[in-house]
Amino acid sequence: MFRTTDPKHPGVEKVMQQGAVNIGGRVTALSEGEYPSKYKGLYLRPEEARREFEQRGWTKVAAFQTRNPMHRSHEHLAKIAAEVTDGIFIHQVLGKLKAGDIPAEVRTRAIQAMIDNYFKPNIAIQAGYPIEMRYAGPREAAARIWSSDAITPASAVTMARSMPSTFSMSCGTARCCVNRSRSM
């Protein structure tokens, strides 16, 4: 996934520290830790996000996942996506980051200021989740989408215009993920 074995890479370092055995498969969360209370109103479980989309009447949603404050290029991508979708879902990483990354508390305030002051009303919402970054670039973003219970991958961005879908953007890389198993 990382295309490197350099132990200085934060993702490689994390994997190497995990030990000899790694187990995969279905996961049941026994505890969500501090996230639901620390990020009240921002921390949304997948079913809560889908409910929010439904309440807003959104059937086509552009999702922007980030671990950084949004800059002008991100804002531009989101506004382009807003032209072909019903709403923008700005999805924050609230989990562990590498040293020097901007803390979630700062990012969330910056992104909310952008939503409040630079987006059309009711076109964008912000949420977050406690995933830990692996710093694997587009492969990591694709792995998250493939493992999501909310969406399945599709090959053509044009599908976003023709059926209820979720359009995901990550650091300038756009891809379309169509939800065939659930209605939003």
Q: Respond yes or no: is residue 68 known to be catalytic.
A: yes
Q: Respond yes or no: is residue 122 known to be catalytic.
A: no
- Give me the catalytic one of 50, 67, 107, 134: 67
Give CA–CA dist 123/114, Å, rounded.
12
Kind and range of the H or E element at 28? Answer: none
- Give me the catalytic one of 45, 51, 56, 68: 68
**29: region left, alpha or beta (phi > 0 left; psi from -120 to 50 alpha):** beta
Residue 167's SS3 state is: strand
8 backbone dihedrals φ, ψ, rounded to 5°? -80, -15
CA atoms within 13 A on the CB side of 69: 15
* Short-list 28, 44, 58, CA closest to 128: 44
State the catalytic residues: 67-68
